[in-house]
Amino acid sequence: MSVSVESHVSRLANDPGSISDEVNAFLASSKKLFINGEWVDSRSGKTFDVNDPSSDRVIASVAEGQAEDIDHAVAAARQAFEDSEWSRMKPVDRERLIHRLADLIEEHADTIAELEALDNGKSVVIARHVDVKLAIEVYRYMAGWPTKIEGQTLPMSGALLPDQSFVGYSLREPVGVVGAIIAWNFPFLLASWKVGPALAAGCTIVLKPAEETPLSALYLAKLVDEAGFPNGVINVVPGFGDTAGAALSSHPDVDKITFTGSTEVGRLIARAATGNMKKVTLELGGKSPTIVFGDVDAETAIAGAASAIFFNHGQTCCAGSRLYVHSSRFDEVVEGVSNIAKGLKIGPGLDPETELGPLVSTVQRERVMSYVSQGLADGAEAVVGGHAMETEGYYVEPTVFINTTPEMSIVREEIFGPVVVAEAFDDLDEVAAVANQGPYGLAASIWTKDISTVHRLAPKLRAGTVWVNCHNVLDSTMPFGGYKQSGWGREMGKESVYAYLESKSMCISI
Ligand code: NAI
Ligand code: MG
């Protein structure tokens, strides 16, 4: 059985006629690097093309930053970090500036959402009500922090010099110049997770967006310019990973590197950071379990399990890509999730009806399809899906696998597409053990009405976030990140602000 796409095919590409005047004007404008408050060409003069994933059409050309441009941007960020305009800015004024940026984002939210949909392939409705909305909240939440960053007083006993008296206290100071390297799945939102706390802490930033999706970061730079940040506080340098990204993560004058992307590249970044012992925050991959118990309300759990995997076409680090269902409800839940998959409206991002858009790139479609083919070759059964679509765009059918075994790559590895593996379980300890299998530990969801089940299972799960009767719920107050190989540190919340701060102990003999 497979999804029939024939009837949708003519609608799978975005209609260029439906692009707004604002977005057309932005696409037509020259897209340079934003360094030291100025738009500059790359030193090499090179550019790269940006494609619409629904049609493979080239929609923009962007200046390509490389090592020399990273040097230029890092020097600007260093100068801005040391310059008194930023370093001595009163916390309340830093707050005001971050709010000003949030105001401008809010003012241009529809344009940013449209740009994001066009560049990434996601639905414009999701881009507006998830990506851009949450980014605004992150900036506003972070705007509240500059006035609340505090040290402590330390009641010293002075054991080493008992005849003297001391006053001890600690200060929190910005870590310095931050390099931020982000992925393409939530481009504008991921930028906020890095730029927001870095600004709140008083750092300066060089942001390298993903080569697949540089447009909303350049739009952010336009708003940064308008908001009136001192030159060099925020710099945006689009470019590729092995050139611009590698130069940023190994740069001797960058104090902290923060990254969202694959575990493989996270490892390279952690290694590159050892040169000058940068502070490192990594938000990496996942293979998160959705765990459905026998007592659930079927409709809620089925809709939740489907959304856990198909949201953002499965290109979500915390996607519920392993579905574990109590054997008493397995057939019903798998059938329900498969029916939702069959009914998803597949289409381009700019169509507001779209529920499942194309993947971000041909590379990503091939990567996902190679997992799907391997799963089929290994003997798993696709209840629904199992194919790419015969279109110019990068579409893959939503796919539900059963009859899997733990050794299969579709069960063990992050696929990052609309593909879920479903397995039955019988008791809590058994499902805790399988849920914890594998190298990742980003998130998990538990679906049950029984509060004891929640409290018995949650402590056993090695995951940075445990959702109960929900999945993929993110909040600016809630630290997000992974156990095991899903990363180092947390994004959002107080913990992320403190990840951009150094602690200085003050010891005064009086
Ligand atoms: P990636 O990890 O290669 O790319 C993410 C970012 O890292 C991009 O900005 C890229 O330019 C940069 N980068 C790549 N190589 C680099 C290097 N040597 N040094 C510094 N920066 C570098 O991810 P990719 O190739 O786009 O996707 C591969 C897989 O990674 C996906 O299939 C998925 O499994 C996983 N992934 C996970 C994400 C998450 O949210 N945790 C996001 C994106 C991808
Ligand atoms: Mg890569």
| AA letter at 222 | K
Q: Residue whose CA is closest, atom 16 of ligand 1?
A: 241
Backbone angles phi, psi at 107, to 5 degrees: -60, -35
Q: How far is CA 195 from the centre of its chain?
A: 13
For tokens 């008992």, what's the residue?
162
pLDDT confidence of residue 6: 44
Distance 264 CA to ligand 2 centre (A): 8
- CA distance linking residue 203 with residue 190, whole number of Å: 17
Ligand nearest to the CA of 181: 1
Nearest to 185 by CA among 177, 196, 193: 193
For tokens 């790139």, what's the residue?
361
Question: Using alpha carbons only, what angle is made at residue 374 by residues 330 and 242, rounded to the nearest 5 degrees?
Answer: 115
Active-site residue 317, yes or no?
Answer: yes
Q: Global pTM?
A: 0.97
Active-site residue 283, yes or no?
Answer: yes
**Annotated catalytic residue within 95, 114, 203, 317:** 317
381-386, Cβ contacts within 8 angstroms, sequence gap of 24 or more:
382/2, 383/1, 383/334, 383/335, 383/338, 384/1, 384/2, 384/3, 384/338, 384/341, 384/342, 385/2, 385/3, 385/341, 385/418, 385/419, 386/2
Which residues lie with the beta carbon below 6 Å from any ligand 1 atom?
181-185, 208, 210-211, 240-242, 245-246, 249, 260-262, 265, 268-269, 283-285, 317, 367, 414, 416
Ligand 1 closest atom vs CA 211: 11
Q: Residue whose CA is closest, atom 40 of ligand 1?
A: 317
| AA letter at 509 | S
Ligand nearest to the CA of 245: 1
- CA distance linking residue 179 with residue 243, whole number of Å: 14
Q: Is 66 left (phi over 0), alpha (psi -120 to 50) or beta?
A: beta
- CA distance linking residue 186 with residue 63, whole number of Å: 21
Q: For residue 328, what pLDDT band results from cuts at 50, 70 and 90? A: very high
176-188: pLDDT as tens digits: 999 999 999 999 9
pLDDT confidence of residue 11: 79
pLDDT confidence of residue 300: 97
User: Which secondary structure element, helix H or strand E, spans residue 448, and what is its range?
Assistant: none
Q: Report whether pLDDT(7) > 60.
A: no
User: Up-side HSE of residue 205: CA atoms within 13 Å toward CB?
Assistant: 27
Q: How far is CA 31 from the centre of its chain?
A: 23
pLDDT confidence of residue 9: 46
Size of the chain, expressed as the number of residues it contains: 510
Nearest to 194 by CA among 129, 261, 240, 244: 261
173-222: pLDDT as tens digits: 999 999 999 999 999 999 999 999 999 999 999 999 999 999 999 999 99
For tokens 């990273």, what's the residue?
70
- CA distance linking residue 291 with residue 242, whole number of Å: 38
pLDDT confidence of residue 334: 98
Supply the DSSP symbol for 459. G
Distance 262 CA to ligand 2 centre (A): 7
Q: Is 291 left (phi over 0), alpha (psi -120 to 50) or beta?
A: beta
135-154: pLDDT as tens digits: 999 999 999 999 999 999 99
